[in-house]
Structure 1
Amino acid sequence: MDLFPALPRQSWAPTKETLHRFLQIVGKVRLAASVRRNHWWNVPFHLTGDGITTRPCGPLADGTVFTVDFDFNAHRLRVLTLDGRQVSFGLAGLSVGGFYRRFTGTLAALGISTVPAHPYPFDLPDAARPFAEDEEHATYDPAAVGRYWTILTQVMLVLEEYAAGYSGKT
Structure 2
Amino acid sequence: MIHRIVGLPPVITKDSKVLILGSMPSVLSLESQEYYGNPRNHFWKIIFSLFNEIPLDNYGEKIIFLQRKNIALWDTIGSCYREGSLDAKIRDEEPNDLPGLIQKYLNIKLIACNGTKSFNTLKKYYSPESLSHIPVIKLSSSSPVPGRYNKTLQEKIVEWKEILNYL
Which bracket does the TM-score occupy, shorter chain normalised? under 0.3
Task: Look at both structures and tell me which one has the larger radius of gyration over its CA atoms.
Answer: 1
Considering Cα pairs closer than 8 Å and 6+ residues apart, tell me whether 1 or 2 has the greater RCO.
2
TM, length-normalised to structure 1: 0.27
- Which has a greater percent of strand? 2
